[in-house]
Structure 1
Amino acid sequence: MTPEFVYGVDFSGATDAERNVWIAGGRLTDDGLDIGTLGTAKSVLDGDVSGQAETHAGLVDWLREREPAAVGLDFSFGLPSTLLDAVDDPPADWGAFLDSFPPADCADPDGFEDWGKQRTREATGGERAFLKRETDGPVGASSPYGFIGSTITYYGVRDVLAPLVRGSDGGEAVATVAPMQEQSFEAPLTLLETYPAGVLGRLGLQRRNYKGASEAEREARRRNLDGLLAAADLTVDDADRETVVENTGGDALDAVVAAAAALRAVESGFAVERGRYDEREGYIYV
C-alpha cells in the first residue's frame, strides 16, 4: 500500500508533552509533500489532550486514522546489541525486542537509564557507561539510554511503537516498521526512526544552535528551513513558515525535518545505507 500521506513527529516525554510534541505533514502530490498540518499535539490531536500519558495515547489514536501514511518519529527504536544480549533471554530479532520492552524492573526512564549503564559497565569491564547502536554514530545521535535519549526512547517505544505495531488496550495493530519488518508498504502505517539533527547535517545545514530566542538562532531556523525546502520536495505556506521561524524551541522545524526524512525514505523505497544497520538495533533515516 503506497503512502498517500507523510508526517513527521517531534516527540517528547515531558509532563507537558501536549505542548512539546509537534506534528508536521500532509498529502503527497505530484510535486512532493504538501505540509498542510503543522502544530503542537494540543492543537492537532483530537479531544482534550493534556499531560504526558494523554498526549501519547492521543497521538496513537490520531496516527491510527492517518492511513495509508509513512511517519517519521524522532526517538530511538532500539538498543545496542550489547544490551540486547545482556538479558536472560536475548531477543532474536527487532520484533522480539519490542515484545520485551521495557526491560524488567525498569518502571521509568531513570530505571531504564540505570539498567543500561549497569549492563554496559559489566560488558565493558567498567570502561563505558553508555553505548551507541551501529546507526547512531554516523549521524551523530546520542545513546538511546543516555541522559538525553532515555526518556524519549522509553516512552516512545512503550507508548507509541508497541500499541501501533503490536496493538494494545483493544486497539488493532496497524503499523509496520521500516526497515526491520518486511512488506512495509502493506500496512496502513509505515513507521520509521529519524533524527532531525542528522538530516540537517546531511544537508550541510546548521544542526546546533538553532533553538532559542536570540536573533542569531531565529536566523538559523530560517536558513535551515530555506535549505530544507531547496533540497526536498516540500511546500510550506507562509503562515507555517513563520511558525517554524518564530518557534523558539525549534520543535516546529524538527517536525518538518522529520517529515522530510520520511518523504526521502518513501522515495527510496526505505533503502538503508551499508555499514550502519544492525537489524536487531534499528535504523535512523536521514
Structure 2
Amino acid sequence: MHSSAQSTGLPLIGVDFSSSPSKRKPITLAQGQLRGQALLLQGLRLFDTLAGLGDELARPEPWVGGFDFPFGLPRELVLALGWPTDWLALMQHYCALPRAQIRAQFAAFCAARPVGGKFAHRACDLPAGSSPSMKWVNPPVAYMLHAGVPLLLRAGALLPGLHAGLHFGDRRRVALEAYPGLLARELLGRRSYKSDERAKQTDERLIARKDLLEALEQGRSRLGLRLKLSHARRDELVADASGDKLDAVLCLLQAAWGAQREGWGLPARIDPLEGWIVSA
C-alpha cells in the first residue's frame, strides 16, 4: 500500500458520477484544497459526456479524487462466474462486455439464490451502507463501475490496494472510491436531502441540505474537516434539489480525509479484487 501525500497543497477532486451523463443530468466534479483541517471548496464543474470527464482526469496534473462509483466486484460473484481473479484482468474483461450481457449474467446469478440474499456483497458494503456493486438498477452501480473504471485507467491513476497506476515523475493521480451516503447518513441519519423527481423536491429535503452543509462547515463529522465555501457557493449547493453538487462535495471531503492519512486511510488489508470505500 502506498502512503498518502500528507500534503495540504495537493489538488483534490470529488466526483458525483453517472454512467449515462447528459445535459439534464451531468457528472459533477468538485475541486478543493486542504488548508490544515479546513477544506476550501474552489469550484464545481459539470460534464455531460463520459469522454469530457475522461479528458479532464487524464490532463497532466496531479490530484487525489473521491469517486462515487464502485471500483470492484464481489469476490463471490467473480468466482461464481469464473471470471479473472486478478483485478486488472477482471476489469478488462468486465468493461469489454455489453451492458445487456452484464445484466443477463447478474440476473441469472441472483435468480439462483434465496430471497433476501439475491445479491453478492463486497466486504465494504455493510460498514459503508452502500448498494452491492453488482446492482444494475436503483442505482445502476454495476454500469457506473463499467463506465467509470476505464476513465481512471486511461488517466493512469493509482487505485490504492487495487492497481499501481502509472506515475509520471511526481505527477501522481490517486483515485479513491467514495460514497456520499456514508457521510450524509452520519450527519442526517435517515433524513433524505435530495431527489431527481420534481414532485419529491420538498421543503423537508431543502432544510436537510441546509442542515447537512451547516454540519460540514462546523466540522461535526468524524472526518474532522471543516468545509469552507463562499455564500454564493452555499446557495448553489442548497438550491440543487438533485443533490448532485452536494454529493460531489461529500466525495471531495472523503478524498481530503484519505489524502491526510497513511495508506490513504484504507484498512491495512483489503481484498485486492473488491477494493474499499474510503472512510468506511
TM-score interval for Structure 1 and Structure 2 normalised by the shorter chain = 0.7 to 0.9
Q: Which residue of 1 aligns with 2:177?
A: 193
Q: State how far apart, in whole Å, the 2-side matches of 1:135 and 1:23 are.
A: 24
Structure 2 gaps of 5+ residues are 196-200, 220-224
Relative contact order, CA 8 A, sep 6+: which one is greater? 2
* Contact 1:6 1:259 (C-alpha < 8 Å) held by counterparts: yes
* Contact 1:33 1:233 (C-alpha < 8 Å) held by counterparts: yes
The alignment partner of 1:192 has SS state of: strand
Q: State how far apart, in whole Å, the 2-side matches of 1:200 and 1:226 are.
A: 12
Percentage of pairs with the same residue? 27
Q: Which residue of 2 aligns with 1:144?
A: 133
1:177 partner amino acid? L
Note the C-alpha offset of 1:214: 1.6
The alignment partner of 2:95 has SS state of: coil
Note the C-alpha offset of 1:177: 0.7
Compared CA separation, residues 187 and 91, structure 1 to 2 (3 A): farther
The alignment partner of 2:81 has SS state of: coil
Equivalent residue for 2:206, pick from 218, 222, 232:
218
Note the C-alpha offset of 1:268: 1.7
User: Does 2:123 align with 1:130?
Assistant: no
Q: State how far apart, in whole Å, the 1-side matches of 2:248 and 2:209 are.
A: 13
Compared CA separation, residues 66 and 25, structure 1 to 2 (3 A): farther
User: Does 2:14 align with 1:8?
Assistant: yes
The alignment partner of 1:175 has SS state of: coil
User: Does 2:16 align with 1:20?
Assistant: no
Q: Which residue of 2 aligns with 1:204?
A: 187
- Give the TM-score normalised by structure 2: 0.81
Note the C-alpha offset of 1:159: 3.4
User: Does 2:51 align with 1:57?
Assistant: yes
Equivalent residue for 1:98, pick from 87, 91, 97:
91
Note the C-alpha offset of 1:15: 5.2
Note the C-alpha offset of 1:163: 3.7
Note the C-alpha offset of 1:82: 1.3
**Count, aligned residues:** 259
* Contact 2:18 2:26 (C-alpha < 8 Å) held by counterparts: yes
CA deviations on 1:187-216 (whole Å, 9 max, x unpaired) are: 621111111011222x33345411142211
* Contact 1:19 1:40 (C-alpha < 8 Å) held by counterparts: no
* Contact 2:21 2:27 (C-alpha < 8 Å) held by counterparts: no
User: Does 2:71 align with 1:71?
Assistant: no
Q: Which residue of 2 aligns with 1:113?
A: 103
- Give the TM-score normalised by structure 1: 0.79
Compared CA separation, residues 92 and 223, structure 1 to 2 (3 A): same
Cα RMSD for the two superposed structures: 2.8
Q: Which residue of 2 aligns with 1:47?
A: none
* Contact 1:7 1:24 (C-alpha < 8 Å) held by counterparts: yes
Compared CA separation, residues 15 and 92, structure 1 to 2 (3 A): closer
Q: State how far apart, in whole Å, the 2-side matches of 1:31 and 1:283 are.
A: 24
2:194 partner amino acid? K
Q: Which residue of 1 aligns with 2:222?
A: none
CA deviations on 1:95-127 (whole Å, 9 max, x unpaired) are: 222222237xx412x5423311312444x4787
